Amino acid sequence: MASVESRYIATAKADAEGRLIEADEVLARLQQACGGTIGSRIAIPELLALVEKAQRYGLRLARQFEAVDGENRVTAWVEIAPQSSDEDADSGSTIDVVSWHSEGLPPENDIEAARRRVEINRHLADCTARLDSSQRLLSIDTQAPDLAEFADAALANVGRPWTDLVSLPGNSHQQPLHWRLLDGTKCTVEGSSRSWTAHLEPLGQPQPGSAGFVLYLTADSPLSAGLTNEEATGPDGPSFGRDLTPVLRQPINRIIANAETIRTKLAGPLADEYSSYAADIATAAQHLLALIDDLSDLEVVESDDFATAPDRIELADVARRACGILGVRAREKGITLVAPPEGESQLAIAEFRRVLQILLNLVGNAIRYSPEESQVWIRLDRIGNRALITVADQGHGLEDAQKEQVFEKFERLGRSGDGGSGLGLYISRRIARAMDGDLTVESAPGLGARFTLSVPAADEMREIPR
Amino acid sequence: MPMPDASTPVAADHESLRDALVRGNATLARIGPILAHLMATPDHSLFSDEIIARIRGMCHHLAWQVLRAQAEAAGQAGREAFAERHGAALAEHMLATPGLLAHCHALALEWQLTERLETQYGIDPVLSPLVQELIASEDSGLASSAMASLTAQARFAQAQRRMELPLAELPGDIFHDLLMNWRAYSGQLRSDAMIRAEAKLRNAFDEGAGRIALMSRVIASMGGEGRRALDIDHGGAAFYLTALATRTGQSRVAAVLSTNHEQTARLALGLRGAGLDSAEVERQVLRIDPKAVPAREIAEMPPEAARQILSESASAGVV
């Protein structure tokens, strides 16, 4: 087959979704004139249809397309080659422009233009009303939520001129004016913050308007745009959990690792005071890390779409796991952790990971605030359809006023410098409630505290073990 | 099925004979309308024996090419024999596709027109004055695509004389339909070899290398100058039809059909829509059909209006 020597006027690439990834001069300009950008979907209708067809068929196509860039009619010959590689079924296509002609558009005839304007109004209008030949309201219809109030008011005033129902700026004339003067006026509508343009389509022949009018109200901006602007200010700022946590973790882990190296004198002999400074650095860094984790957790549990993944779990397992993890820390303080006895079992419907997180927080607190040589118990129980897991300590206990306070955000009950962020219990309760459960405390001064997590109970273990 | 007594086979025989008669009746019932239509049509230029034979030939050739690709992918010995064996059935199946049928029909009519112009006016089927001029063009891109279209037209002439149609000459949509049709025909029997064969055919396909695309490309590259192809003595049938189609937004099939002498109005409207003045339109119409009565109505009609009328008639499902 004879091949054609082709010098391409322009080349472009589209991805599998029909977005124009890159484009040379002429095509890029046409894309912009049609309302698109590089990186957005191809905005040239005939070209998009061709690209999609070539990709759907998996065939190289060569066709002519026409487009209008606002002032000129463009006729171009393009060759489209889908780029299919074996591993990736459709990975876009290349577009090569072989010829390009543009000629000025003939001036549009007035009747055509008027007809098209009516078409556009008809499609864009948020509110359509039928008026009689004196522009009095006969019926009204709207889908826009911010016009509902207006529509109700208008329906109660059927028979009044429509100009009484909206506010026309600079309205000092006897309304309604001739429809040609009112066509295209700006107005505001009760209950809507958008500004509106009224268009009147006259009905009837031979005298336009003799059979009445259709009134179109078209807003200057779509309703959703306002909402997205408001939303954008919220989550679009840097998110602590998503953006900062991973960035901060790495240097802090490095500080901890180096401080530990100095503390344990791994790199050589060192004066004891320096070693203990290093221990302070490591402790502070660990605290910082815990704080960061808490803050990112806080962000997660406070977001609206926070949800847990409930499963059937064995609370005794979770309790023993928590005891295992914190056993070393407890022994350092001479505290004994008393896990549920072997053989005891309580099934619940909750997310294992989240329950463990709560339990680690509760047991960690108990270790932190209990006197040395004391005991911390973890007990399982069931009341009705609630499965309970209780962490009891022999610490100072809480006063009545403090019992609710401990669950507040950043609440430290006057303590400081012990490695807590004041977020643990707040986060734990949020998680508990997200699992359809709760976290409560019973305590009296001098008698220790009993924190109880309750979650929905389950009766039998799933057939297939995890 | 077990036969409980002797009377059943006889009943079954009767039944199958009756079925055969019913099938026969259906065929006979179609004779009337077809015959009446053929007799009532003053000329048979749209479905003469020659045209029918050409369409059949092209469809057979298409089927044969697809089957040959299949046999090749399956590594089958005796590829020709395989294609021969199944060719007729697949071709019958393809003949039921309106798009393909219309395309083949238009090609056959175009070739007939090309041959007629050669005998009547001595217009070369391949090398028209326009093509000669374009090949010598200073625009090397245009010259090279004109050269490629000349080669493609020579190939077309050869293929038409053999009543063949290479797969590569199909427009993309029809090629795609044909492959889908082949899938449907094979049904459950679709094997790995067929999938390989189809992928190979798709990869090898390049619409831009086909004759119709090359000619459209030349016309598009000429821009406003493309109007010159609408002088049939100058452009030759192939470029004339291509320019008529691209400049009026008609399909090439519609452009070809408009040269039939029952379709003078369509041709005149098309030429007017493509931008010819009324004297030129009249001259061109008479050149194609000397017996035609030129439509005077179009003299005052603006080209946009002519295109509008054409597109309305096309959307009404005529072509």
Can you give the pLDDT at residue A465?
44
Residues 6+ apart with CB under 8 A from B23: none
For residue A15, pLDDT beyond 50 = yes
Can you give the pLDDT at residue B309?
85
Distance from the B179 Cα atom to the nearest Cα atom in chain A, whole angstroms: 10
Pairing relationship of beta strands A213-219 and A127-131 according to DSSP bridges: antiparallel
Mean pLDDT to the nearest integer, A252-274? 82
For residue A338, pLDDT beyond 80 = yes
Residue type, B249: G
Determine the Cα–Cα distance for residues B52 and B62; give it in Å rounded to an integer. Answer: 16
Mean pLDDT to the nearest integer, A406-424? 71
With a pLDDT cut of 70, the percent of chain A lying above it is 88
For residue A225, pLDDT beyond 50 = no
Q: What residue spans of chain B are helical by DSSP H?
A: 7-40, 49-74, 79-95, 98-121, 129-135, 140-161, 172-186, 192-204, 211-222, 232-248, 252-257, 264-273, 278-288, 303-315
CB contact under 8 A, A64 and B216: yes
Can you give the pLDDT at residue A235?
46
Can you give the pLDDT at residue A229?
41
Only one residue has tokens 């400049």, namely: B247
Can you give the pLDDT at residue B18?
86
Smallest CA–CA distance from B246 into chain A, residue: A64
Mean pLDDT to the nearest integer, A309-331? 85
Chain B residues whose C-beta sits inside 8 Å of any chain A C-beta: 140-141, 144-145, 147-148, 151-152, 168, 172-173, 175-176, 202, 205-210, 213-214, 216-217, 220-221, 223-224, 246, 304
Can you give the pLDDT at residue A351?
85
Q: CA distances (Å), A145 to each of A125, A232, B292, in order?
A: 13, 21, 64
Mean pLDDT to the nearest integer, B119-133? 90
Determine the Cα–Cα distance for residues A65 and A81; give it in Å rounded to an integer. Answer: 15
ipTM above 0.95, yes or no: no
Mean pLDDT to the nearest integer, B189-211? 87
Other beta carbons within 10 Å of B71: 21
Mean pLDDT to the nearest integer, A359-384? 88
* Contact between residue A52 and residue A34 where contact means Cβ atoms under 8 Å apart: no
Q: Which of A104-113, A250-259, A390-399, B203-212 has the lowest mean pLDDT?
A: A104-113
* Contact between residue A167 and residue A180 where contact means Cβ atoms under 8 Å apart: no
For residue B110, pLDDT beyond 90 = yes
Mean pLDDT to the nearest integer, B237-243? 94
Beta strands in A238-357 (DSSP E): 311-314, 336-338, 347-350
Smallest CA–CA distance from A99 into chain B, residue: B221
Name the average pLDDT for chain B: 85
Residues 6+ apart with CB under 8 A from B188: none
Q: CA distances (Å), A44 to each of A34, A76, A113, A412, B93, in order?
A: 6, 12, 22, 62, 38
> Which of A205, A185, A207, A204 has the alpha carbon at shortest distance from A195?
A185
Determine the Cα–Cα distance for residues A329 and A335; give it in Å rounded to an integer. Answer: 9
Determine the Cα–Cα distance for residues B72 and B67; give it in Å rounded to an integer. Answer: 8
Can you give the pLDDT at residue B104?
94
Can you give the pLDDT at residue B230?
92
For residue A239, pLDDT beyond 90 = no
> Which of B298, B294, B299 has the alpha carbon at shortest distance from B284?
B294
Can you give the pLDDT at residue B264?
85
Can you give the pLDDT at residue A176?
75
SS3 at position A293: helix
pLDDT band at A6 (very low <50, low <70, confident <90, very high): low
Instruction: Pick B85 or A461 by higher pLDDT.
Output: B85
Mean pLDDT to the nearest integer, B148-171? 92
CB contact under 8 A, A54 and B175: no
B contacts of A54 (beta carbons < 8 Å)? 172
CA B103 to chain centroid, in Å, comes to 2
Determine the Cα–Cα distance for residues B156 and B164; give it in Å rounded to an integer. Answer: 9
Can you give the pLDDT at residue B61?
92
For residue A377, pLDDT beyond 80 = yes
Can you give the pLDDT at residue B206?
92
For residue A65, pLDDT beyond 80 = yes
Comparing CB atoms, the residue among A2, A60, A77 nearest residue B217 is A77
For residue A5, pLDDT beyond 60 = no
CB contact under 8 A, A53 and B172: yes
Can you give the pLDDT at residue B315?
55
Give the pair of three-digit tokens for residue A330: 């407890």
- Name, of A166-170, A391-395, B41-45, B79-83, the range with top average pLDDT: A391-395
For residue B43, pLDDT beyond 80 = no
My answer on whether omega of the bond before A206 falls inside 30° of 0, hence cis, is yes
pLDDT in tens, B254-282: 999 999 877 888 899 899 988 888 888 98
Mean pLDDT to the nearest integer, A55-68? 89
pLDDT band at A466 (very low <50, low <70, confident <90, very high): very low
Give the pair of three-digit tokens for residue A48: 């998009």
End-to-end CA distance of chain A: 64
* Contact between residue A378 and residue A330 where contact means Cβ atoms under 8 Å apart: no
* Contact between residue A391 and residue A369 where contact means Cβ atoms under 8 Å apart: no
Distance from the B114 Cα atom to the nearest Cα atom in chain A, whole angstroms: 22
Give the pair of three-digit tokens for residue A90: 């459709």
Distance from the B32 Cα atom to the nearest Cα atom in chain A, whole angstroms: 42
CB contact under 8 A, A60 and B144: no
For residue A422, pLDDT beyond 80 = no
Give the pair of three-digit tokens for residue B212: 């119709």
Mean pLDDT to the nearest integer, A115-125? 81
Mean pLDDT to the nearest integer, B51-78? 87
CB contact under 8 A, A101 and B168: no
Give the pair of three-digit tokens for residue B110: 């175009």
Mean pLDDT to the nearest integer, A219-238? 54
pLDDT in tens, A164-187: 888 887 766 677 778 888 888 888
pLDDT band at B1 (very low <50, low <70, confident <90, very high): very low
For residue A284, pLDDT beyond 90 = no
DSSP-assigned letter for residue B75: T
pLDDT band at B42 (very low <50, low <70, confident <90, very high): low
Give the pair of three-digit tokens for residue A388: 């309970």
Distance from the A56 Cα atom to the nearest Cα atom in chain B, whole angstroms: 10
Can you give the pLDDT at residue B112?
93
Cβ burial, residue A8 (10 Å; 0-12/13-18/19+) = middle
B contacts of A7 (beta carbons < 8 Å)? 140-141
A contacts of B206 (beta carbons < 8 Å)? 1, 60, 62
Can you give the pLDDT at residue A463?
45
pLDDT band at B176 (very low <50, low <70, confident <90, very high): very high
For residue A429, pLDDT beyond 60 = yes
> Which of B252, B234, A349 has the alpha carbon at shortest distance from B243?
B252
Can you give the pLDDT at residue A226?
44
pLDDT in tens, A77-98: 899 998 865 545 557 889 998 8
* Contact between residue A410 and residue A423 where contact means Cβ atoms under 8 Å apart: yes
- A163-186 burial by CB neighbour count: b if 16+ within 10 A, else e? bebbebeeeeeeebeebeebbebe
Q: Which string of DSSP letters, residue by residue, matches B220-253?
A: HHHGGGGGGGGSHHHHHHHHHHHHHHHHHT--HH
Can you give the pLDDT at residue B218?
92
Give the pair of three-digit tokens for residue B98: 């309106």
For residue B3, pLDDT beyond 60 = no
Residues 6+ apart with CB under 8 A from B168: A1, B204, B205, B206, B209, B210
Chain A residues whose C-beta sits inside 8 Å of any chain B C-beta: 1-7, 53-54, 57-64, 75-77, 79, 98-99, 101, 103, 106
For residue A3, pLDDT beyond 80 = no
CB contact under 8 A, B172 and A1: no
Q: CA distances (Å), A155 to each of A158, A161, B167, in order?
A: 5, 12, 65
* Contact between residue A126 and residue A146 where contact means Cβ atoms under 8 Å apart: no
Mean pLDDT to the nearest integer, B10-34? 82
Residues 6+ apart with CB under 8 A from A16: A55, A90, A91, A92
Smallest CA–CA distance from A9 into chain B, residue: B141
Comparing CB atoms, the residue among A5, A76, A79 nearest residue B208 is A79
Pairs across A and B, CB distance < 8 A: 85
pLDDT band at B108 (very low <50, low <70, confident <90, very high): very high
Determine the Cα–Cα distance for residues B250 and A384; give it in Å rounded to an integer. Answer: 79
A contacts of B221 (beta carbons < 8 Å)? 77, 98-99
With a pLDDT cut of 90, the percent of chain B lying above it is 34
> Which of A158, A131, A278 has the alpha carbon at shortest distance from A217?
A131
Mean pLDDT to the nearest integer, A60-73? 87
Determine the Cα–Cα distance for residues B310 and A185; give it in Å rounded to an integer. Answer: 40
For residue A418, pLDDT beyond 70 = no
Determine the Cα–Cα distance for residues B156 and B213; give it in Å rounded to an integer. Answer: 13
* Contact between residue B86 and residue B60 where contact means Cβ atoms under 8 Å apart: no
Residue type, A31: Q
Determine the Cα–Cα distance for residues A287 and A420; give it in Å rounded to an integer. Answer: 8
